[in-house]
Amino acid sequence: MYSKSLHGGNNNPSNSSLNNNGNGSNSGFGTLNSRIKKATPLPITIAKKNAQPLLNAYGLPISAGGATLSRGNKNSNVDLTDKIRVCVRKRPLNKNELRRGESDITELAGKRTLVINEQKTKVDLTRYIERHAFTFDDVFDSNITNEDVYKRTAAPLVDYIFTGGKATCFAYGQTGSGKTYTMLNEKNGLYVLAASDIFSMLNHPEYVNIIPHVSFYEIYQGQLYDLLNARKKLFAREDGKQQVCIAGLTEYECFSVDDLMKIFGHGNNVRSTGATGANADSSRSHAILQICLKDKTKKMAVFGKFSFIDLAGSERGADRGDADRQTRMEGSEINKSLLALKECIRALDQVSKHTPFRQSKLTQVLKDSFIGNSKTCMIATVSPNSGSCEHTLNTLRYADRLVFNLYKHLK
């Protein structure tokens, strides 16, 4: 099994690696790569006559000209300063998947395209593979470390918040696909790496009046809870300028990575987790860690803000085999909020007069991530095993739709 830090539970630094097999190795996703080659190969031999054309996110053959890539040509250059960036990260096969003989159904085609080899059966019981191609801003293979992911995702946003902007980086995907490990790992999660750069920038003379404040809260079953104040219930409200404010949210001044890790550890201990059929220690809430820069010469007005969001698992409770009623209710609320997020994106795409940010607490607190002086990076995490094929395709289609809508509207 991977360390619990992958799933948002006990983020012990000694277990910080996804591939920690008890030998102290913690070199990121790469440790299991040599073992992946030993996995049972695809049990389907495809004759040339049964080969299927490469399909896009909507099931249309790319060779037929019906597939237009959401971000342009797959070989075109990517601007790390885009207002909205969507990336994909693939984790390695875990011990249980290797033991079951599951195969890796994902393959990278260049630096920006991920191909999914979906195993299917025709009416005449002929077995074949349907190949789906998805192109994003970046695709990270299983041997890519958190540090490398950071350089292509959150690092450009650190510079942006020092220009007075608001930045958001969030992870989306199936339970157990690596969201929490990527975003909130205590040793080298993106928030730790970004905080290190932020505190370094604050040492420059021009930022002597900027004070960093840290807050940490979760959205659990449609309600906000302060993880730094014994899970006190919070309320999100809009001020006269239509800016969302969270009343009573605890904030701590923070000037070093060590202080930040202590604050995070305190809050993470009370975050809502639970056992599911997919993960023994699964995150059951959306967790939001914010680093807010405030100017003490302007009555502590917000100068810049960086939000790190670890979204809860996106699949249905029925898919995980959960018979527990509470777990199913949690899953229902999680997917309701994710659906509301998609509806907001759709409204932005259609340039609607009304964008339904109030449909859920998640979209309400994310409002300033999509409008105004803001930039956002989404990291979709996927599981490569054949048993997770449907969830992986759903995650990639969700991310592809976000690219298609947001990029067209915001670029």
pLDDT at residue number 38: 41
Q: What is the residue whose two structure tokens read 């958190």? A: 146
pTM for this one?
Answer: 0.78
Q: Is 81 left (phi over 0), alpha (psi -120 to 50) or beta?
A: alpha
Q: What is the pLDDT of residues 229-275, one digit of tens each?
A: 999 999 988 877 777 889 899 999 998 999 999 999 999 888 876 55
Query: Given this model, what pLDDT does residue 226 score?
Result: 95
Q: Which residues on neighbouring strands pair with residue 117, listed in sequence order?
A: 131
Is 178 known as a binding-site position?
Answer: yes
Neighbours of 129 (CB within 10 A): 16
**Is 243 a known ligand-binding residue?**
no
Coil, helix or strand for 381? Answer: strand
Q: What is the predicted pLDDT for the residue at 306? A: 95
Low-confidence ranges of the chain (pLDDT < 50): 1-49, 64-71, 277-278, 280, 411
The answer to the question of whether 135 is labelled as a binding residue is: no
> Is 173 labelled as part of a ligand binding site?
yes
On whether 222 is known to bind a ligand per the annotation, the reply is no
Report d(CA 32, CA 285) in Å as an integer.
29
Are 181 and 189 in contact, with CB atoms under 8 Å apart?
yes
Determine the distance from the C-alpha atom of residue 304 to the mean position of all C-alpha atoms in its chain, rounded to a whole number. 22
Contact indicator for 351, 332 with CB cutoff of 8 Å: no
Kindly report, residue by residue over 156-205, the tens digit of the pLDDT. 999 999 999 999 998 988 888 999 899 988 889 999 999 999 999 999 99
Q: Which CATH class is domain 149-317+324-407?
A: alpha beta
Q: What is the pLDDT of residue 408?
A: 54
174 marked as part of a ligand binding site = yes
Amino acid 169: pLDDT: 92
The domain ranges of the chain are 149-317+324-407
Q: Identify the pLDDT of residue 379.
A: 94
Which phi and psi angles does 127 have, rounded to 5°? Answer: -95, 140
Q: Is 372 part of any known ligand binding site?
A: no
Contact 138, 112 (CB under 8 A): yes
Q: Is 180 annotated as a binding residue?
A: yes
| Percent of the chain's residues with pLDDT above 70 | 71
Residue 352: predicted pLDDT: 59
Q: What is the DSSP string of 330-377?
A: HHHHHHHHHHHHHHHHHHHHTT-S---GGGSHHHHHTHHHHSSSEEEE
Per DSSP, 398 falls in state H
